[in-house]
Amino acid sequence: MDSSLSDSFNPPPPYHLLFTSLSLIPLSHFLSAFLLLFLLFLYHFFEIHFLHDFLRAFRGDRVSITASDPDFYQSVVSKCRILHGRFSSTPWLCSPHLQTIFLSIVGRSPPVSYKRQLFRVPDGGTIALDWLRSSDVECDGFGVNVSTSDYEKTPTVIVIPGLTSDSSASYIKHLAFRIAKRGWNVVVSNHRGLGGISLTSERVYNAAWTEDIRRVVDHLHSQHPEAPLFVVGTSIGANVLVKYLGEEGANVPISGAAAVCSPWDLLICDRFINRRLVQSFYNKALANGLQDFALLHQSNLSRLTEWESIKKSRSVRDFDNYATRVLANFETVDAYYRHATSSNYVGNVGVPLLCISALDDPLCTKEAIPWDECRANRNVVLATTPHGGHLAFYEGIAANTLWWARAVDEFLGVLHSSPYIGMIKKKQKTTTLTPSFSIDQGPYVSVLEDGMVTAVGDEQTDDTMQEQDAPNQETANVTTNDEVILDSVEADEHVTKNEQPERYEVKDPNPTQATTFVRKCTHCLARRSSKSFWLLAYIAIVTTWPMVRPALSLLFKKRSRNPAPGGPRIR
């Protein structure tokens, strides 16, 4: 009897009870629960914000604006209604990945027809300039011809595409179509080797190369000096634009600019796209595009030798390691990324600049946005949105418009019609170039015996100078009937240098070490300005007069007490 009681008080194992209870649940409930968990995983994996938009009644989120100059804000930024409004993404594209993928696959761009010019630069490269004017735009079957009274004063907007993109990209067409409807001229400056143009030199574009946009801007300004110039950069093109503006400061013939979805810091963005799983798909897609570009121009890239490694590249960093850094003459990939980082140049931008970035950008992370640098520069206004993806910002039910294209178009229009642009032009005219000396350009300095300091390690041999000055004799292999224009800036600079009069210097027949040092110092001061030399002498006299005056008075007193010998003595 004791054994039967002990058996009745021993419960079954807990796992047995658990499996027994689970077996009683219908299979359809398990499938429903698994589907719900899978949907939650996709919701967070693709960063979908449908519930967030639904709770806000699809009104969108306000745009965050960072601007430090009250005059710039009051004259221009405060009048931009789009920047002070809300951005509401397309409800069925409520994810940065859906926005970005839809832009690259579908696009829904308006119909545009470009007119091409081939621009030859002195190093032998060819840049395709695709023009779009108001007369070339059709809207709803009717031609839009909103032109200004003076064609020579019609504003021109230069557009710099992103990585492996050209004028045929959907977002470029959206922007060009909207600006052309305003009555302005739009020219897309395609990167070398893109836009259906073969490479005619071994120089390939990269995120740190600003010489091409510098040549294009100078050429267009020389052709139409009275026409206001604006520049819009997108993605890598935005990085190149900001770097170019920072290098030139206020000495640029540009009235305003806009940088959309700039990576800002390539080193941080490289870590970002290699850190997360979903970004690996973008990384692979960009690497494939770069591989196709390199293989298309393989015959013109003789400096590249590791083609097998280039073909096996699985990320942008791999391609930059085997191709980009080699063509750009960098020792390491990180050195190239640090040199190409545009956030280091934001503080020196001297023209009105609008920067637009999405905080959920799947390629250009928000960690790289230079908040403090943008806030410290009075010429920069930073507009950020919580959503938008990379260069997408689709809005409306039909997803036919891009929010950032409307914002840039409005900003440039308000800037052009505001009196603030006149203030910028006055600053550009009054700004003088800072003379550059060899000591500022050399990586090391050397102190000579006479006390002078010179730069070393930056000399150029005669052969190198001849290679730089000599024009490229190779003929570009471009088989097209498009208009070909040449860059004449270098030739004009060469003529100007040759027209400078010779300078002669009178040398001391018996120089000493002391006189040599003094002459070099005075010559350096006189070379700067004669006014600065006399000003320095005046300052020296004024500062030393309190000490010279007592000494002179004491000297004259001694001479009065000790008269010359033979003179009368007073007793």
User: Exposed (0-12), middle (13-18) or buried (19+): which is 406, by Cβ within 10 Å?
Assistant: middle
Backbone φ and ψ of 544, nearest 5°: -95, -10
Count the neighbouring beta carbons within 10 Å of the beta carbon of residue 201. Answer: 18
- Report the C-alpha gap between 548 and 534 in whole angstroms: 20
- Looking at the DSSP assignment, which residues form a beta bridge with residue 385? 358
Question: What three-state secondary structure class fits 131?
Answer: strand
- Report the C-alpha gap between 410 and 84 in whole angstroms: 12
**Catalytic residue selected from 235, 255, 342, 418:** 235
- Report the C-alpha gap between 268 and 177 in whole angstroms: 33
Tokens of 518: 């003094």
- Report the C-alpha gap between 339 and 537 in whole angstroms: 43
- Report the C-alpha gap between 39 and 355 in whole angstroms: 35
**Catalytic residue selected from 166, 212, 360, 361:** 361
- Report the C-alpha gap between 6 and 9 in whole angstroms: 5
- Report the C-alpha gap between 136 and 149 in whole angstroms: 18
- Report the C-alpha gap between 512 and 477 in whole angstroms: 61
103 neighbors 397 (Cβ within 8 angstroms): no
| Eight-state DSSP code of residue 364 | S
State how far the alpha carbon of 126 is from the alpha carbons of 24, 122, 185, 360, 487, in Å.
74, 9, 21, 36, 10
Of the candidates 65, 74, 71, 69, the residue with the CA atom closest to the CA atom of residue 382: 65
Long-range contacts formed by 102-106: CB under 8 A, 24+ apart: 102/392, 102/394, 102/399, 103/170, 103/171, 103/389, 103/390, 103/391, 103/392, 103/394, 104/170, 106/170
Catalytic residue status for 174: no
Catalytic residue status for 61: no
Catalytic residue status for 219: no
**Catalytic residue selected from 49, 174, 191, 390:** 390
CA 489 to chain centre: 23
State how far the alpha carbon of 36 is from the alpha carbons of 39, 41, 49, in Å.
5, 9, 17
Count the neighbouring beta carbons within 10 Å of the beta carbon of residue 182. Answer: 18
Catalytic residues: 235, 361, 390
